[in-house]
Amino acid sequence: MPVAEPAGGDGPVAPGDPGPVRITIGVAISVPEPFGSAVQDARAAHGDPLARAIPTHVTLLPPTSVPVARLPEVRAHLAAVAAAHRPFRMLLRGSGSFRPVSPVVYLRVEEGAQECRVLEAAVRSGPLARELEFPYHPHVTLAHGLSERVLDEAHQEARGFYAAFPVFGFTLSRFDADEIWRPWCGYQFAD
């Protein structure tokens, strides 16, 4: 079930303006503090321009454009997915890379990867069914689209990274006009 939704909706709408017809959303498992900030700080230190625009996360649904009119159906779908799953432990350890296919260095999901795969398949069904550009691989992005030298440095520096935490749910986020991802609604797993 949804547990939190920030006030404000889609922002002010002028009288007679129906507002946006579509919205870009994503669904992810948030990486809690202090790990989330540590990853953002590392991204910023490597010069990643997206370091502060994207909260630290493991993606369950990549950026997806949906009609605003379908948001109630999307929310009901996500609530049902959350209700069908249980909390699990996630362990992030060490680094990996999608190069040469994609210029990304990431933190490896060593424990919890199978739970992420099951969740991703459930989230990316029903009203959120869509094809993916690449096969799903749970990870936490550490550096993206930077020079080979910087990607090499990020990969090397994160080899000793370790973070373990419980996962109690996931978050629906939206991509706003200022090109920043903002958490919009949280969904808790069943106990």
pLDDT tens for 128-177 read: 999 998 899 999 999 999 999 999 999 999 999 999 999 999 999 999 88
**Cβ pair 155, 163 in contact under 8 A:** no
Q: Which amino acid is at 79?
A: A
- Tally of CA atoms within 13 A in the half-sphere of 37 that contains its CB: 2
**DSSP assignment letter at 145:** S
Query: What local confidence, expressed as pLDDT, does residue 21 receive?
Result: 92
Positive/negative CA dihedral, 115, 118, 123, 124: positive
**Cβ pair 168, 87 in contact under 8 A:** yes
Positive/negative CA dihedral, 30, 34, 39, 41: positive
CB atoms within 10 A of CB 1: 13
Using 50, 70 and 90 to split pLDDT, how confident is the model at 116?
Answer: very high
Query: What local confidence, expressed as pLDDT, does residue 189 receive?
Result: 98
pLDDT tens for 3-28 read: 333 333 444 444 454 557 999 999 99
| Tokens representing residue 12 in the block | 């002010």
CA dist list (Å): 103 to 76, 99, 138, 149, 169: 35, 5, 16, 11, 29
Query: What are the residues whose beta carbons fall under 8 Å from the beta carbon of 34, sequence distance 6 or more?
Result: none
**Cβ pair 167, 173 in contact under 8 A:** no
Percent over 70 (pLDDT), the chain: 90
CB atoms within 10 A of CB 155: 18
Query: What local confidence, expressed as pLDDT, does residue 178 receive?
Result: 87
Query: What local confidence, expressed as pLDDT, does residue 12 receive?
Result: 41
Mean pLDDT of the chain: 90
Query: What local confidence, expressed as pLDDT, does residue 19 receive?
Result: 59
Using 50, 70 and 90 to split pLDDT, how confident is the model at 50?
Answer: confident
Domains of the chain: 23-188 (3.90.1140.10)
Q: Which residues make beta-bridge pairs with 105?
A: 97, 143
pLDDT tens for 164-190 read: 999 999 999 999 888 889 999 999 999
